[in-house]
Amino acid sequence: MAMRRHVLEDLRLVRLPSDPSISPDGSRVAYVLTEVDGDENKRSLWWVGRDGTPRPLTRGKADTAPRFSPDGRTIAFLRDKQVWLLPADGGEPEQLTELPLGAGPPVWSPDSGRIAFAAAVNATPPGEPVVSERPMHKVDGVGRLGGLGSQVFVVDLADRSVTQVTDGTAFAGTPAWSPDGTRLAFADQLAGDGDMFAPAPAVVLNLSTSDIELVGDDKVLAVSWHGDDLVLVAMPGTEAANQTLVRDGRNLAAELDRNVMPGGGGYPGALPQAFGQELLFCARDNGCTHLYSVKNSGVHKLVGGGRVISGLSVANGSAAVIVSTVDIFAEVAFLDPATGDLSLVTSYASVFDDVVHVRPEPRAFTISDGIEVRGWLRRDPSAPTPGPLLVDVHGGPHNAWSPVRDWIHLYHQVLVAQGWTVLLLNPRGSDGYGEKFLQAALGAWGEADERDFLEAVDSLVAEGIADPDRVALTGYSYGGYMSCWLPTRTDRFAAVVAGGVISDLTSAVGTSDAGPAIAEHEIGGPDRLAALSPLAHVAEVTSPTLILHGEADQRCPIGQAEQWFHALHDRGVPTRLVVYPGASHLFVLDGKPSHRLDYQSRIVAWLDQYAGKRS
Ligand SMILES: CSCC[C@H](NC=O)C(=O)N[C@@H](CC(C)C)C(=O)N[C@@H](Cc1ccccc1)C(=O)O
């Protein structure tokens, strides 16, 4: 077979399984398959058995959240955000809901007789003025909240009736049935002054009495049951810290000192799930999301190493996951929960069997203050040295690079094929190295982590890997912030591509949907906001800078990019601003394929123009 290197157009060939649901008899797994269809990301449902032959379940374009009924006869799923049913052995789907703003993922009652879900409801009619009284008044990818709330509904399959079972509460998260089917637990804002999409207290609704009971005072991201005990993935208190796994008021994952990962855009993980007397959950370690089991004897790692778990489904002693490795973007696997052994049953990566992709080299750098920071290098060992080096800064700041093959950053493989080295560093502030490390940049964005990057570059130059005249910088979101900040501290970057930027923290706190969280949990007082804003130091910048930004980004609003573009232009620094029409913050993750391809193409071109050739 004639081998080739990755090209950016390959992102159109990537097919990604997600959101698995294992059948009660453990024989097969239903999942969402996302693939590029023209300029859309098509999502349809498939299933696969232990024979490893995937088969289509639905032919929709926006089919998500497949859920086997406990009796195994039916699969509930979302189509265009409405709840549908499909006979598990095939047949015609049936639409169950027609809600104005759609429904959230369906959750079967233990007796397979009912389905619960949370659904957005809006007291503000379309086109009417939007009144805001809460600090979080908009959400990226959703828009202005106004009178938007979220309530819990139950469908009775006997008569297909759809009943709203909560009213007074403000924002209800996806519910979880108690084992006896009499109660529903969910995260909710009881006080009414809470913020949608912000972590909220857990409550239990008694369906026969409609009584709602508050469960503890943890702010929770997700709820599930372990026997008759409620299990919470809880947020820390006032500042950024590890998310915890709480059952009966106790943090079951305390001994790990790792962040519990319930799963979410760009943050792989899965909802904790009971496996007999054990409880399975995900936590991040050294950049990877691993699978753990809580047993009477403590917490044990089930799936570790260079693997990332981004989906989990457990039923009657069987389990399935979505797993990524250094060689595969994402595949479906059956899991032996007793041993942690994985049996892959899909091979979507095989479409790239003719591609030579470069695996990452693990690296550790001891910084001058004694802190060790870890990461990976992607480079072709046969490439001439010293060669061009790209420093790519991850987001968060509490996100992290992992070594697995990823489609968001296919440009890494393209650059490596052109002789580049790509540094993927997890500096202080990154997740996966303990709470103290995660908190090491609080109140000191840029200041605390800059030397981690600059000293790692020094090391690679000293090793003869990196040409000091061809060092480039890029990053998105928090990485975009750092791609503005670092060039105010040094002129060593021959080329910079800043994506989804934050350039002015003072205005960002007031205009970002995460503004209150940034101010409260990350930066602290207003005086620090100005000092840590790249805009306050833009006079120092000389590096040619390409700015790439989503027009509808509410996490890092477009004004952050426009201010930086204007300030650089005003100082004669070579700069260009590219705005992606209608794109929200996460467009680089799941936006239009043409936008994702354009974004990555521009990075490669800008780096080639300003740092690719020897001087
Ligand atoms: C309390 S700070 C804001 C927290 C939030 N963290 C996780 O999402 C966040 O949105 N951080 C931003 C940067 C911040 C607004 C300065 C961020 O970096 N978000 C994402 C962006 C992303 C994720 C996955 C794929 C592409 C982009 C990130 O955490 O990496």
Residue 235 is predicted with a pLDDT of 86
Whether the link from the prior residue into 386 is cis, omega within 30° of 0, is yes
Residue 52 is predicted with a pLDDT of 97
Taking only the tens place, the pLDDT of each residue in 415-438 is 999 999 999 999 999 999 999 999
Percent of the chain, pLDDT > 90? 86
Residue 191 is predicted with a pLDDT of 39
Q: Ligand 1 pocket: which residues have CB below 6 Å? A: 265-266, 394-396, 399, 476-478, 481, 502, 512, 514, 517-518, 521-522, 555-556, 586, 588-589
Total number of domains constituting the chain: 2
Nearest-CA residue for atom 4 of ligand 1: 396
Single-letter amino acid code for the residue at 507 = S
Q: Residue 169: pLDDT above 70?
A: no
Q: Residue 588: pLDDT above 50?
A: yes
Question: How far is the centre of ligand 1, averaged over its atoms, from the C-alpha of 426 (Å)?
Answer: 14
17 alpha carbon, distance to own chain's centre: 15
Residue 263 is predicted with a pLDDT of 94
Residue 216 is predicted with a pLDDT of 81
Question: How far is the centre of ligand 1, averaged over its atoms, from the C-alpha of 395 (Å)?
Answer: 5
Relative to the CA of 476, which ligand 1 atom is closest?
A: 27
Question: How far is the centre of ligand 1, averaged over its atoms, from the C-alpha of 456 (Å)?
Answer: 23
**Is 25 part of a structural domain of the chain?**
no
Nearest-CA residue for atom 6 of ligand 1: 396
Residue 193 is predicted with a pLDDT of 47
Q: Average pLDDT for residues 313-336, to the nearest whole number?
A: 96
Sign of the alpha-carbon dihedral angle for 605, 610, 611, 615: positive
Rounded distance between C-alpha atoms, residue 613 and residue 603, angstroms: 15
Nearest-CA residue for atom 2 of ligand 1: 518
Residue to mutate (ligand 1; options 219, 431, 555, 590; most atoms within 8 A of CB): 555
Question: What torsion do the CA atoms of 510, 512, 513, 514 make, to the nearest 10 degrees?
Answer: -90
**Is 206 part of a structural domain of the chain?**
yes
**Is 42 part of a structural domain of the chain?**
no
Question: How far is the centre of ligand 1, averaged over its atoms, from the C-alpha of 316 (Å)?
Answer: 36
Burial class of residue 599 in the structure, from the number of CB atoms within 10 Å of its CB (0-12 exposed, 13-18 middle, 19+ buried): buried
Of the candidates 181, 180, 61, the one whose C-alpha atom is nearest the C-alpha of residue 116 is 181
Question: How far is the centre of ligand 1, averaged over its atoms, from the C-alpha of 80 (Å)?
Answer: 26
* Residue after which a domain boundary falls, among 166, 187, 210: 210
Which stretches within 371-525 are classed as H helix? 410-417, 435-438, 450-462, 478-485, 505-511, 515-517
Taking only the tens place, the pLDDT of each residue in 58-80 is 999 999 999 999 999 999 999 99
Nearest-CA residue for atom 25 of ligand 1: 266
Residue 195 is predicted with a pLDDT of 56
Q: Average pLDDT for residues 76-102, to the nearest whole number?
A: 96
Relative to the CA of 556, which ligand 1 atom is closest?
A: 15
Q: In which band, very low, low, confident or very high, does the pLDDT at 23 lie, cut at 50, 70 and 90?
A: very high
- Supply the range of the domain harboring residue 121: 101-210
Question: How far is the centre of ligand 1, averaged over its atoms, from the C-alpha of 477 (Å)?
Answer: 6
Residue with tokens 């093959």: 405
Q: Average pLDDT for residues 503-510, to the nearest whole number?
A: 96
Greater pLDDT, 150 or 614: 150
Residue 192 is predicted with a pLDDT of 41
Which of 357-361, 450-454, 520-524, 548-552 is least confident?
Answer: 520-524
Cα–Cα distances in Å, from 177 out to 307, 320, 395? 31, 21, 35
Categorise residue 524: left if φ over 0, alpha if ψ from -120 to 50, beta otherwise: left
Burial class of residue 267 in the structure, from the number of CB atoms within 10 Å of its CB (0-12 exposed, 13-18 middle, 19+ buried): buried
Question: How far is the centre of ligand 1, averaged over its atoms, from the C-alpha of 265 (Å)?
Answer: 9
Percent of the chain, pLDDT > 70? 98
Nearest-CA residue for atom 5 of ligand 1: 396
Rounded distance between C-alpha atoms, residue 508 and residue 515, angstroms: 6
**Is 124 part of a structural domain of the chain?**
yes
Question: How far is the centre of ligand 1, averaged over its atoms, from the C-alpha of 397 (Å)?
Answer: 7
Most distant CA atoms of the chain, gap in Å: 76
Taking only the tens place, the pLDDT of each residue in 325-365 is 999 999 999 999 889 999 999 999 999 999 999 999 999 99
Mean residue pLDDT of the chain comes to 94
Cα–Cα distances in Å, from 505 out to 358, 473, 557? 37, 21, 11
Question: How far is the centre of ligand 1, averaged over its atoms, from the C-alpha of 369 (Å)?
Answer: 27
Q: In which band, very low, low, confident or very high, does the pLDDT at 194 lie, cut at 50, 70 and 90?
A: low
Q: Residue 196: pLDDT above 60?
A: no
* Order of strands, sheet of 278-285, starting from the edge strand that comes earlier in the sequence: 273-275, 278-285, 288-295, 298-303
Q: Residue 449: pLDDT above 50?
A: yes
> Which helix (H) or strand (E) covers residue 562, if one does?
helix 558-570
Which of 32-41, 121-130, 150-159, 534-543 is least confident?
Answer: 121-130
Q: Average pLDDT for residues 188-203, to the nearest whole number?
A: 64
The CATH number that applies at residue 554 is 3.40.50.1820
Q: In which band, very low, low, confident or very high, does the pLDDT at 119 lie, cut at 50, 70 and 90?
A: very high
Structural tokens at position 91: 């047949």
At residue 343, what are phi and psi to the nearest 5 degrees? -120, 105
Relative to the CA of 265, which ligand 1 atom is closest?
A: 24
* Residue after which a domain boundary falls, among 210, 232, 257: 210
Q: Average pLDDT for residues 500-524, to the nearest whole number?
A: 92
Residue 197 is predicted with a pLDDT of 56
Q: Average pLDDT for residues 529-556, to the nearest whole number?
A: 97
Quick check: 259 and 282 in contact, CB under 8 A?
A: no
Sign of the alpha-carbon dihedral angle for 515, 517, 521, 522: negative
**Is 313 part of a structural domain of the chain?**
no
Nearest-CA residue for atom 12 of ligand 1: 396
Rounded distance between C-alpha atoms, residue 321 and residue 301, angstroms: 15
Rounded distance between C-alpha atoms, residue 614 and residue 33, angstroms: 43
**Is 248 part of a structural domain of the chain?**
no
Rounded distance between C-alpha atoms, residue 166 and residue 188, angstroms: 11
Cα–Cα distances in Å, from 573 out to 331, 390, 546, 611? 45, 20, 10, 16
* Residue after which a domain boundary falls, among 191, 210, 229: 210
**Is 598 part of a structural domain of the chain?**
yes
**Is 486 part of a structural domain of the chain?**
yes
